[in-house]
């Protein structure tokens, strides 16, 4: 292993959305000093590292994913000294830090784009994707923005269209340009030299487009599940605007850079028409990225057959790739709401899901508030900050509300300001950290208990996985490593179930879920779970 112990393999990584974690200065927005002040809490969870969403200089059109200075800290979050202090304090606690790096696009306020749009002879003229209109003045092709409408905007200053796969304020960098690649690699090196332990590589399949700008073919309209808005973006096969083969050499350059640093991690964000195929191509082998962030479990579909199928798809062919799994993040409806059976969130289910997630073969990402069992917030229209973007059609604010630290305090203890950038719902304040720390049966104390228990079983961290077929409502598998074989079973439904249990298993204790072995029967209560070790 080029980089030591591969700490990320089997790790649980806690995602912090900095705007909403803790406000240290009373302006209503979370900041880096606020994160530093809460690191004892993060450490107490038993996680191995932190993924920190963007805190770079930004006009905040997309809340930091529109970067105006890749080496700057936005003033709302603090300054570079605050960042250095945060990194040092994380390392004191044995926590690794993975930061977002946005390679696909910058802000339209970035100095590079300001120069690029001036004329076709600027030093930065080819740093972004520019194209002439069709003869009738329409955009160069039929490519669509993830956020709606054409992904092309005409710029009268330059007299051409520029390409943006997200907001028009997020013009796409031309990563085909070697100068752009070298600048992005230099940026990564700058952060690695400051002590970060790796990067979550945002929107990676988007980064290189078809050089001929060919139209995407139409795709059959997917059937609505009644909850997800069908956007025009899903009505195309993204054959030419994403996932081009020229991306592979650039990723190899990134890996070569990070191999110069100890224990570095590169995790690709991959979400495209062929997610598993792309994930493996980006992560298979020692020259490629370490792992990829899988979106398969961030959907509305919830069943044991579906979960099993998605995990098995990843391991269906021989390869060296290592997956990463998540149930919630800053762009998706919180899992406590999204997968609630009959739209009734249940604490027993959230406990079971966290245990299941972190028992799969792979690395696990837990989004802030998931350890509290927070549900999706309903934000009044007049309070929304992110309208019309996201799978609900009402924006992503519902999963981005501030952390409730103390429900007895104003704004749930998140900020001393009159109000935070988003409100703290009453049900979140009632589920605050302070309240849950006092409750032995809380989701928070279960999270701490389970993650500590998990670390005592190496097979759950790095072991091989093989599924067992027991019941349509139960997902069950074994994990095996160095002579230790564990059996894991989870009831995904609110009704108890009894399934057959082969002989030779010794039930384990101390993991906080209810499941009982009686002879060759396993009784799983509603949303129950069970772990056992193979008897020698």
- What is the C-alpha separation between 528 and 523, in angstroms, rounded? 9
66 is catalytic: no
Backbone angles phi, psi at 97, to 5 degrees: -120, 120
Are the C-beta atoms of residues 209 and 243 closer than 8 Å to each other? no
Tokens standing for residue 134: 């069709």
CA dist 194 and 215 (Å) reads 42
State the catalytic residue, choosing from 202, 272, 371, 376: 202
454 in helix, strand or coil?
Answer: helix
Distance, in Å, from the CA atom of 314 to the CA atom of 297, rounded to the nearest integer, reads 13
Whether 269 sits among the annotated catalytic residues: the reply is: yes
Helices then strands, counting H and E runs in the chain, come out as 14, 21
User: CA 423 to CA 124: how far, in whole Å?
Assistant: 41
| Of residues 52, 75, 47, the one with CA closest to residue 65 | 52
Q: Which of 31, 48, 172, 269 is catalytic?
A: 269
- Any idea of the CA torsion for 234, 240, 243, 249, to the nearest 10 degrees? -170
Q: Phi and psi of 260, rounded to 5°?
A: -80, -5
Q: What is the spatial distance between Cα 23 and Cα 312, in angstroms, rounded to a whole number?
A: 42
Candidates 393, 410, 411; CA nearest to 402 is 411
Task: Give 168's strand partners.
Answer: none
CA–CA separation, 346 vs 340, rounded Å?
A: 7
Take residue 204 and report the two structure tokens written for it: 């990676």
The length of the chain in residues reads 536
Long-range CB pairs of 284-287, under 8 A, 24+ apart, other chains included: 284/319, 284/320, 284/321, 285/320, 286/2, 286/320, 287/252, 287/255, 287/256
Cβ contact 194:183 at 8 Å: no
End-to-end CA distance of the chain: 32
The residue assigned the tokens 């772990």 is: 531
Residue 162, exposed/middle/buried by CB under 10 A (0-12, 13-18, 19+)?
buried
Alpha carbons 117 and 156: distance in angstroms, whole number = 9
Neighbouring residues of 526: CB distance < 8 A, sequence distance ≥ 6:
346, 348, 491, 493, 494, 495, 496
| 19 DSSP assignment | G
Catalytic positions, written as ranges: 202, 269
């Amino acid at each position: 292993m080029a980089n030591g112990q591969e700490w990320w393999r089997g790790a649980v990584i806690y995602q912090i959305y900095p705007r909403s974690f803790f406000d240290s200065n009373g302006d209503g927005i979370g900041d880096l000093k606020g994160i530093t002040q809460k690191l004892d809490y993060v450490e107490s969870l038993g996680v191995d590292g932190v993924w920190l969403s963007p805190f770079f200089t930004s006009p905040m059109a997309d809340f930091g994913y529109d970067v105006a200075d890749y080496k700057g800290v936005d003033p709302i979050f603090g300054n570079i000294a605050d960042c250095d202090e945060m990194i040092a304090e994380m390392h004191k606690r044995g926590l690794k830090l993975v930061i977002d790096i946005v390679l696909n696009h910058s802000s339209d306020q970035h100095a590079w784009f300001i120069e690029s749009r001036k004329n076709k002879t600027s030093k930065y003229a080819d740093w972004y994707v520019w194209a002439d209109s069709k003869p009738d003045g329409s955009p160069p092709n039929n490519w669509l923005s993830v956020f709606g409408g054409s992904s092309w905007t005409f710029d009268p200053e330059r007299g051409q269209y520029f390409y943006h796969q997200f907001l028009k304020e997020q013009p796409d960098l031309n990563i085909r340009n070697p100068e752009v690649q070298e600048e992005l690699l230099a940026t990564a090196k700058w952060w690695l030299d400051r002590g970060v332990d790796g990067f979550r590589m945002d929107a990676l399949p988007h980064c290189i487009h078809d050089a001929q700008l060919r139209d995407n073919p139409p795709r059959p309209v997917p059937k609505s599940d009644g909850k997800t808005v069908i956007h025009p973006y899903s009505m195309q096969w993204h054959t030419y605007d994403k996932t081009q083969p020229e991306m592979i050499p650039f990723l190899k350059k990134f890996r070569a850079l990070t191999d110069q640093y100890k224990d570095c991690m590169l995790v690709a964000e991959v979400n495209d028409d062929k997610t598993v195929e792309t994930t493996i191509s980006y992560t298979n082998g020692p020259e490629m990225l370490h792992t990829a962030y899988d979106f398969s479990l961030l959907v509305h579909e919830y069943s044991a057959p579906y979960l099993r199928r998605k995990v098995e798809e990843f391991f269906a062919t021989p390869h060296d790739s290592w997956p990463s799994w998540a149930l919630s993040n800053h762009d998706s409806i919180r899992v406590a709401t999204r997968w609630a059976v009959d739209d009734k969130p249940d604490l027993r289910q959230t406990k079971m899901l966290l245990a299941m997630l972190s028992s799969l073969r792979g690395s696990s990402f837990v989004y802030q508030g998931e350890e509290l069992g927070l549900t999706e917030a309903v934000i009044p229209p007049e309070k929304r900050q992110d309208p019309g973007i996201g799978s609900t059609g009402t924006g992503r604010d519902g999963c981005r509300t501030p952390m409730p630290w103390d429900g007895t305090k104003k704004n749930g203890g998140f900020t001393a300001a009159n109000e935070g950038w988003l409100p703290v719902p009453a049900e979140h304040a009632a589920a605050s950290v302070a309240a849950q720390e006092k409750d032995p049966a809380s989701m928070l104390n279960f999270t701490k208990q389970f993650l500590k228990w998990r670390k005592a079983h190496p097979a759950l961290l790095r072991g091989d996985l093989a599924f067992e077929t027991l019941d349509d409502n139960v997902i069950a598998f074994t994990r095996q490593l160095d002579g230790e074989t564990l059996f894991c079973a989870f009831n995904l439904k609110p009704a108890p179930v009894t399934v057959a249990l082969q002989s030779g298993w010794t039930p384990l204790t101390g993991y906080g879920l209810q499941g009982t072995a009686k002879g060759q029967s396993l009784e799983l209560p509603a949303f129950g779970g069970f772990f056992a070790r193979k008897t020698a």
